[in-house]
Amino acid sequence: MIWNRASALGMARTSCARCHGYGTRPDHRREIVCGCTLRSIFRACLARYFELDSRHDSAPTICWEFHARGADNRRCYGRKREEYLADFYLIARRTLALADWRLFGLHFLQGLGWKLCCRALRLSRGNFFHAVYRIEEALGRAYAETAPYGLWPLDEYFGSHSETTHAPVPARLSDAARDRDEHRHAPQPGLERAQPQDAGQPARTDAAQLCAAHGMRRDHQVSR
């Protein structure tokens, strides 16, 4: 994920006091992504997680995937729903520290309110919400920056762009190839086929006609 205003503008919060709805903010002479954008990305991924997890009663679907790179046929089978659920869980487990992971499980996955979480983890109300914002920003960045296949954008993860599309041939190369083909199929001088005199005789080339005419002229000189 390359962070710039174009990639972060759609998920930015319009009422944000830091980025003012642009998604990025200046920091030491460079642009960095704002925390409101990362939190919005995490919440979108979390909503898709619950949406897919609610379909556990239905039969799993198998997708026919196309990949732009691969040593074999660039096609394979996959189960996007199960893969997304596993990626969401494992990326969070690897990214968060132990204390944040416990809060993530209680508040985000189990849906406990701040009072129960503060009582279970012995946190104050202020520390709880600071930890929630920190977790959302850390996981939003992790879901977007995981390489080579991040969870965000969601449409790219679920394969709307994965079908192989061949890059167009550059104009310079296409013109050169067209000129080469025209030169290959163009008739060479002196070897053009003449129209046959009748259907019973094969067509003679200009070179053969010139040789025949030269031979007839030489025979005429010798006879004289």
Q: Give the C-alpha separation, 33 to 25, whole Å.
A: 6
Classify 196 in phi/psi space as left (phi over 0), alpha (psi -120 to 50) or beta: beta
User: What is the predicted pLDDT for the residue at 219?
Assistant: 52
User: What is the predicted pLDDT for the residue at 175?
Assistant: 52
User: What is the predicted pLDDT for the residue at 98?
Assistant: 95
Q: What is the mean pLDDT of each run of 10 residues along the chain (224 residues)?
A: 77 85 83 89 93 75 64 68 91 95 95 94 95 95 88 79 40 49 54 50 54 54 49
**Residue ranges covered by each domain of the chain:** 35-157
User: What is the predicted pLDDT for the residue at 14?
Assistant: 85
What residues contact 136, with CB distance under 8 A and at least 6 apart?
Answer: 38, 39, 42, 43
User: What is the predicted pLDDT for the residue at 166?
Assistant: 37
- To the question of pTM greater than 0.75 for the whole model, the response is no
